[in-house]
Every structure is written in C-alpha cells, then in structure tokens.
Homo-oligomer: A and B are copies of this chain.
Amino acid sequence: MNSSPAQLLSAQNVNQLLDSVQAFLFDCDGVIWKGDKLIDGVPETLHMLRSKGKKLVFVTNNSTKSRSQYANKFLSLGISVTEDEIFSSSFAAAMYLQLINFPQHKKVYVIGEQGILEELQLAGFTALGGPEDGKKTAQLKSNCLFEHDKSVGAVVVGLDQYVNYYKLQYGTLCIRENPGCLFIATNRDAVGHMTDLQEWPGAGCMVAAICGSTQKEPIVVGKPSNFLMEFLLKKFDVSCSKMCMVGDRLDTDILFGQNAGCRTLLVLSGVTTESVLQDPSNKTQPEYYTSKVSDMFDLLRP
C-alpha cells in the first residue's frame, strides 16, 4: 500500500499521525517489552494515547500464552489492559476453528504451549497434546505401531519449547492419515525474543518441521494473515485507514497492516535494524519509523 520510503517520525509529522488515527494496534515482543522487560517509556505513551481517546489493541504472534495470561503479564509490568484488548495467535487459532464451524466432536492436536490449549478449551474444543506430550517419547522398534486419535480433525502448531519427536510424529500422522485434517499455524515467525538478551527459534521453526514431514502448507491465523485482520475489523468499529499498526517486524507486523490498508509505524526496538529497513533488498516500507514507542510521547512534548 505504501511503496515510498519510510519517513522518520518527527515533531513535525507526529501530530498528523495522532490526529488521523482512532485505533493503535501494537505488537508486543520488541515493541511493548523484550522478554520480561518493559521497553522504556511504554506506560506513559499508552496513558497519553488513552487520554486522547485512542483505542488500543495488542496483537501478538506469540502463542505460548492465552489472553488471560497476557493480561496478567501486562499487569505484572504495571500496565492495565483488558482481555478484550488482546489478540494473541493462540486466540486466533480458536477463533478460526469457531468461524469455520469446526465440528465439536472432532479433536484438535496441539504442537505448542499452554496458551493454545487454554484458548481452544475456552472456545469449547477438545484439545490434545501440548505440554502434556512434552515428556513422551516415541518407541522406534520393529512391530511397533504409533497410535494416534483418528478423530483429530485439526493440528494447531505454534511455538513449542518442549517440541519433541513424539509430537512431530503425532501431528504428522494426523495430517497425513486423518481424512481432511487441517494444518493450522498460529504464525511463522522465524525467531522471537523469549528472553531479552538474544533471539530464539520461533513458531516458524515448528511449523516448518511439520511442513517438512507432511509436505503440506498450513493455514496461518496470526500476523500477517488476513484472517486476523478481518476478525479485528469486525470487533472494532474503526475503518482500516484510521488504524495504525505499530510493530518491530517488516514481514509480519508492517505487512499485516499494509495488507489491510492500515497506517503503519515501525519501531526499531525489536528485530529490525535501520540498516535492514534501508537495505535496497527490503521491499516492505512502513509509512513511519522510529526508535521506540515512547518517541510518540517525547515528540509531542512542548
């Protein structure tokens, strides 16, 4: 939607952006926090935006937590956010299954963590796998048959720190052998900031593993999929052009915003460096970029 080079956010253009936007969609990792550490100036900035009547939405591809777990994480960092303001890819997976009327008698196998299981259960689905299968091992010996539940109709794959061969085999068998079984990816981020010091393999790692063994491509429900944006638009009564997506990733956050016709602001506090942004090989240009979210607050001060 925006092919001209990104503009640096400045005291000159920040007012125009704030005046024309009714809702800010924030990515979390690398924008609000890094690992368990709040990024400087975030509380003041969110408070300033709320005081100007802006709607705030927190959209995260990290599927390890449910919305209620995210609300607790915000609270522990001193920020008050309601569950209704949070859209995690774990929640998106559950909403996707609800939207397609996934049959209640079918089960969902999870390669992922607690957040996915919780959201699936809250939405009324029967979920298998997840953390519970983290200690299981697959017995590879003659005459051994690995049993899997034939009533699994969808495999949801997200970030899984306890991924193992058992889960990979279980998910692979369901997708290869259960007729019509869906392969749903919460997201495909290559790496994430699970601690504040370095990057770690993201859901893109586990999702690719299942692509490798099934030779199928997943339905992606997190950023930058259209599914999540359409869902957000239904929930909030704001037109795309009055929404601004704020994120640290070009290939998920900024693309997600641009695909929907939203305004976009890249922050350099996460995975994207200025040299990556400015590199001629980079085809995704946000409308604005700045070092961190609180620049919005600082630039507004007289």
Contact = CB atoms under 8 A, between A and B. Distances in A.
A202 interface: yes
Identify whether the interface residues of A are mostly helix, strand, loop, or mixed: loop
A176 B205 CA distance: 14
A198 B169 CA distance: 11
Interface stretch (A82-90, A188-196, A240-248): A188-196
B205 A172 contact: yes
Contact of A163 (B168, B173, B200): B168
Contacts of A204: 212-213
A214 B198 contact: no
Contacts of A140: 161, 194-195, 200
A215 interface: yes
Contact of A195 (B141, B164, B208): B141
Contact of A142 (B35, B142, B206): B35
A165 interface: yes
9 contacts: A36-B142, A37-B142, A140-B194, A140-B200, A145-B195, A145-B198, A162-B164, A168-B205, A206-B209
Interface of A: 35-37, 138, 140-146, 160-165, 168-169, 172-173, 176, 188, 190-191, 194-202, 204-215
